[in-house]
Every structure is written in structure tokens, then in C-alpha cells.
């Protein structure tokens, strides 16, 4: 018999159906055995009545067994109906149960919120942790958010393009993860901290509107809202100003989250300068929600603009605050080109803040070689170093690169806001532990001597 999804059973009252899924709960009442069965579409109660040929099998079955069940969908007597539960008005009268695969007892209770369970145990059995209701919901919210962003961007004529994972370092203010090259012993690729340079080159290539659900990998100290890996809705557009990019992202975010049933506190999103934000909130990330907003799950977005382009390094030189590829605001371009009033130069960076997190960030870019050169000059790079770092960008900018700008939306931080989670790892399927251990699998691991030799690497035993 063909499988019916549990969520569809309400349409099959009086019929004999076959469902497949997991045993969520079993309640053995002696003569009768009750079950809750679970599949991707939901839960339903089943009962094995006295004298049913299924009673023997029912006695053997435990929670989390995978089963195929045949039965009749019955309306529950009114007094037993549970209006507040999915399928609360029906019950499956079980005629036969086939065990597709048994299960050992769960290493921890997955029938409740698992956030209090030891992190390393959850990580080791992440595939079981992900069965819990909260984690199922978080992953589905994530999937829906990404799907809706994609749909929105396609509707606005964006092209989705993948960029390499094995690449050269793009500075995003973090350390690189590096990958040794077998073909070039002693040389290394860097995993992308972001697709920044490639997406700009796609503007040179004439795509005008690019996006990618991109993976960014950054070797930074792990915190509640930071992991080595995160994903971003990465966007770049040609022939745009700050206003255009901000409007596009504001419209995308509004369309997506409202379609998902969320309420936005203030539209259009309020704007504040970096200076005012620091004076008013003590930081460039702030939470505009009242306690009541928080209870209602409201999303409070705001744009932060007018960031300083440069900040002093510990050694007394200058470095970029956000992105070396940015353009200063038009009024300050002249100062940059002359190398004057460096500390006062403001960048076209725009950050989108939501409920205390940085939800997105981007800028208009330097699209002429001399502007990017001026930025690297301020940062003290020699002509040689400049060429080594961004020579390929300077070359590209000499071949008709249009004015362009973009943004990246941090997917995890957005999903944290949508789900109310405060830890990044609650919205990733297989996150790392705080100690940098992968979920389920045991990386990082040592290489074999053969691999080391092939890669031309020697491990310093210290
Ligand atoms: N590359 C930046 C980041 O990953 C975002 C951008 O400026 O588009 O944070």
C-alpha cells in the first residue's frame, strides 16, 4: 500500500492507510498499546486494540523504532478529541506493524528541548539531537528563510553563481583556514573568509546582479554567535549607490520575514550613524525592542552608516575597519586620494542590525585601481606588497569594471533572531563544539606519514 504522510491523515477518515515513521512515544496499557508516530509532516496517535494481531509486535516496539504501520483512520469520540494537537481529532486503529529498523535507547532525552544536554554528547549524536522538535523547527525555519531569499532574488533578476572554496586569502579581519597543496608542496590555499573578491570580479564580468548562498570560513575565537563556518546570502550589484543596495536588502528582508509571519517593529528601517549609535547605545550593535516586543517575537531592524574607514593599529599605522575594498563616502574621496585626514574619512559601509545582532553588512566598492591603491597606501603597503595582495583586482579594474556595491546577510544570525535562539550552533545542522571539534566526526585529526610526505609537510612535535 502506498505511504500516506501523517500530516495528511485527516483527509482519510474511514480509510485503511499505511504510514511510515518513528515511534515518538509508546504507552503500554496492558490490553491496549498506544503510540504516537512521527514523520516529517507531524504526529498521530495510534492504538492497538485488544485482540488485534498487531499486539505481539506492539509489545516489542520501543521509542524511536522505525516502523511501517497499517491501520484505519478513525474519528475520535468527542470526549477524547484534543483540539489543540495536530491530528487531535483522529486516531489510527492499528492492524499491522512492521519494524523497518529497531533503535537502541536514546543516549539522551530527545522528546524535550535538548539545549540543557551536555554539548559534547549532543555533538556526538547530533543526528539524534536534530530529531528533537526544536531542532527540527530551527532547521526548517532556516531552509524556508533561504528559499524565500532565493525566490526574492530570482524575481529581481539576480543570477546565482558559485565561487571557489580553494582560493587566496581575502581579508575580513580574521585568520585564514589554509589547505596544503599536493601539487605545489609548501604552498597553501586559503578557504574563503567571504567571496568578496570573486563577487566583485563577477561585476567586471558583466553579471550586474549576483547572489550566492555562500559559506564563509574564518579562524576566529569561537563565541555564542560565532563559529568557524557560517553561511551568508552574499549579494553584489552594479550601477548602484548605497541607497540602492540598502533599499534592495530592506525589501528582501521585509518580504521574506513578513511572508514567514513575523512582525517588523519599524518600517522603513530607522538609520543611525556609527557615531550616534556608539553615543546612544555604547556599541554599533543594539537592541531596539521593548520587553513587550521581545515577548511577541518582534524584529527590530536598523541601519548603521557612516563608519570610519580606518582605525589605528597597535603599531601606530592604519588598518581598515570593515572592508578594504570599500569606497569612502563621496565627500571624503578626495581626502583618501591625497592621504589626508585619514581618521576622519567615512566609508560607504552599511550594517543592518536586528535585535542586538549584526544581521548584514556591506558597502559600495572602489571600482577604479587608483582608489584601491590609495586604501592600501594608507595601510602602509609598498607597491610590491600591493601587487602581491590585490594586483589581480587592480588589473580587472582597468578593464571596464562598473561602479558596484554589495552586502552579505549572515544566515545564522538572522535565523537566531527568527527562532529566538542565542547560540549559533542551535541553527546549524552540524556545528563545531566550543573546542573546535566537528559534530559526529572527529576532526581535526592527524595525517598519516604518507599524506604528510605527499604534501611536503613536517609536524613540529613540540
Ligand atoms: N564581504 C563582506 C562580509 O563577508 C560583506 C560585503 O561587504 O559584501 O562580511
What digits encode the pLDDT tens for the residues 71-109? Answer: 999 999 888 899 899 999 999 999 999 999 999 999 999
Query: What's the CA-to-centroid distance between 363 and ligand 1, angstroms?
Result: 8
Q: Where are the alpha helices (DSSP H) in 234-368?
A: 242-259, 274-281, 291-296, 333-338
Q: Is residue 18 part of a domain?
A: yes
What digits encode the pLDDT tens for the residues 384-416? Answer: 999 999 999 999 999 999 999 999 999 999 999
Question: What pLDDT is stored for residue 364 in this prediction?
Answer: 98
Q: Do 25 and 148 belong to one domain?
A: no
List all residues whose CB is within 6 A of at least one atom of ligand 1. 172, 194, 196, 216, 323, 361-363, 406-408
Q: How confident is the model at residue 434 (pLDDT cuts 50, 70, 90)?
A: confident
- The yes-or-no verdict on residue 462 having pLDDT over 70 is no
Helix (H) or strand (E) holding 164: none
Share of the chain above pLDDT 90, in %: 92
Q: Do 255 and 196 belong to one domain?
A: yes
CATH of the domain at 215: 3.30.930.10
Q: Is residue 108 part of a domain?
A: no
Share of the chain above pLDDT 70, in %: 99
Query: What's the CA-to-centroid distance between 361 and ligand 1, angstroms?
Result: 6
Instruction: Kindly give the pairing relationship between strand 271-273 and strand 301-305.
Output: parallel
Average pLDDT on 201-212 reads 98
Q: Do 242 and 297 belong to one domain?
A: yes
Atom of ligand 1 nearest to the CA of 349: 7
In the predicted model, what is the mean pLDDT of the chain?
95
Q: Do 260 and 393 belong to one domain?
A: yes
Query: What's the CA-to-centroid distance between 207 and ligand 1, angstroms?
Result: 18
Atom of ligand 1 nearest to the CA of 234: 8
Question: What pLDDT is stored for residue 220 in this prediction?
Answer: 87
Q: Is residue 115 part of a domain?
A: no
pTM recorded for the entire structure: 0.95
What digits encode the pLDDT tens for the residues 213-239? Answer: 999 999 988 887 888 999 999 999 999
Instruction: Choose the weakest-confidence range: 81-85, 86-90, 279-283, 345-349.
Output: 81-85
Nearest CA to ligand 1 atom 1: 196
Q: Do 96 and 203 belong to one domain?
A: no
Q: Is residue 221 part of a domain?
A: yes
Residues in the chain: 462
Q: Do 74 and 220 belong to one domain?
A: no
Q: How many domains does the chain have?
A: 2
Q: Do 97 and 238 belong to one domain?
A: no
CATH of the domain at 74: 2.40.50.140
**Pocket mutation for ligand 1, best pick of 169, 194, 405 (most atoms within 8 Å of C-beta):** 194
Burial (CB count <10 Å: 0-12, 13-18, 19+), residue 426? buried
| Half-sphere exposure of residue 309: CA atoms within 13 angstroms, side-chain side | 32
Average pLDDT on 162-186 reads 89
Question: What pLDDT is stored for residue 120 in this prediction?
Answer: 93
From CA 322, how far away is CA 311, in angstroms rounded?
10
Q: Do 141 and 171 belong to one domain?
A: yes
Nearest CA to ligand 1 atom 4: 194
Atom of ligand 1 nearest to the CA of 326: 7
> Domain residues for 57?
6-101
Q: Do 163 and 205 belong to one domain?
A: yes
Torsion angles phi and psi, residue 298, rounded to 5:
-75, 150
Q: ∠ CA 413-414-417 to the nearest 5 degrees?
A: 90
Q: Do 358 and 393 belong to one domain?
A: yes
Question: What pLDDT is stored for residue 171 in this prediction?
Answer: 67
Q: Do 145 and 213 belong to one domain?
A: yes
Q: Do 28 and 134 belong to one domain?
A: no
Amino acid at each position: 500500500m502506498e505511504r500516506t504522510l501523517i500530516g495528511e491523515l485527516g483527509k482519510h477518515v474511514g480509510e485503511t492507510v499505511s504510514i511510515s515513521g518513528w515511534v515518538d512515544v509508546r504507552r503500554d496499557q496492558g490490553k491496549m498499546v498506544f503510540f504516537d508516530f512521527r514523520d516529517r509532516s507531524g504526529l498521530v496517535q495510534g492504538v492497538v486494540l485488544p485482540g488485534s494481531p498487531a499486539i505481539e509486535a506492539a509489545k516489542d516496539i520501543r521509542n524511536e523504532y522505525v516502523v511501517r504501520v497499517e491501520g484505519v483512520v478513525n474519528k475520535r469520540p468527542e470526549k477524547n478529541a484534543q483540539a489543540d494537537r495536530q491530528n487531535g481529532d483522529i486516531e489510527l486503529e492499528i492492524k499491522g506493524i512492521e519494524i523497518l529498523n529497531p533503535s537502541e535507547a536514546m543516549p539522551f532525552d530527545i522528546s524535550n528541548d535538548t539545549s540543557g544536554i551536555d554539548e559534547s554528547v549532543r555533538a556526538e549524536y547530533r543526528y539524534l539531537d536534530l530529531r528533537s522538535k526544536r531542532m527540527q523547527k530551527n532547521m526548517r525555519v532556516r531552509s524556508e528563510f533561504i528559499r524565500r531569499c532565493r525566490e526574492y532574488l530570482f524575481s529581481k533578476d539576480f543570477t546565482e553563481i558559485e565561487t571557489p572554496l580553494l582560493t587566496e586569502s581575502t581579508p575580513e579581519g580574521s585568520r585564514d583556514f589554509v589547505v596544503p597543496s599536493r601539487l605545489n608542496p609548501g604552498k597553501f590555499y586559503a578557504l574563503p573568509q567571504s567571496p568578496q573578491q570573486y563577487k566583485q570580479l563577477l561585476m567586471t564580468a558583466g553579471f550586474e546582479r549576483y547572489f550566492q548562498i555562500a559559506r564563509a570560513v574564518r579562524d576566529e575565537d569561537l563565541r555564542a554567535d560565532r563559529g568557524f563556518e557560517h553561511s551568508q546570502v552574499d549579494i553584489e550589484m552594479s550601477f548602484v549607490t548605497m541607497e540602492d543596495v540598502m533599499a534592495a536588502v530592506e525589501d528582501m528582508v521585509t518580504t521574506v520575514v513578513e511572508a514567514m509571519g513575523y512582525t517588523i517593529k519599524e518600517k522603513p528601517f530607522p538609520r543611525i550613524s556609527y557615531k550616534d549609535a556608539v553615543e546612544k547605545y555604547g556599541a554599533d550593535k543594539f537592541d531596539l525592542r521593548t520587553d513587550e516586543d521581545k515577548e511577541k517575537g518582534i524584529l527590530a531592524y536598523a541601519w548603521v552608516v557612516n563608519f570610519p574607514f580606518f582605525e589605528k593599529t597597535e603599531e601606530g599605522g592604519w588598518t581598515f575597519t570593515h572592508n578594504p575594498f570599500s569606497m569612502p563616502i563621496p565627500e571624503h574621496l578626495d581626502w583618501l586620494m591625497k592621504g589626508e585626514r585619514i581618521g576622519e574619512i567615512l566609508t560607504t559601509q552599511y550594517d543592518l542590525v536586528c535585535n542586538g545582532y549584526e544581521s548584514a553588512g556591506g558597502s559600495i566598492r572602489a571600482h577604479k585601481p587608483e582608489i584601491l591603491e590609495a586604501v592600501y597606501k594608507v595601510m602602509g603597503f609598498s607597491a610590491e606588497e600591493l601587487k602581491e595582495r590585490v594586483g589581480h583586482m587592480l588589473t580587472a579594474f582597468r578593464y571596464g569594471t562598473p561602479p558596484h556595491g554589495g552586502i552579505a546577510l549572515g544566515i545564522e544570525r538572522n535565523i537566531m533572531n527568527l527562532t529566538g535562539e542565542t547560540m549559533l550552533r542551535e541553527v546549524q545542522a552540524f556545528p563545531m563544539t566550543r573546542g573546535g571539534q566537528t559534530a559526529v566526526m572527529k576532526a581535526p585529526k592527524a595525517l598519516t606519514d604518507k599524506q604528510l610526505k605527499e604534501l611536503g609537510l613536517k609536524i613540529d612535535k613540540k
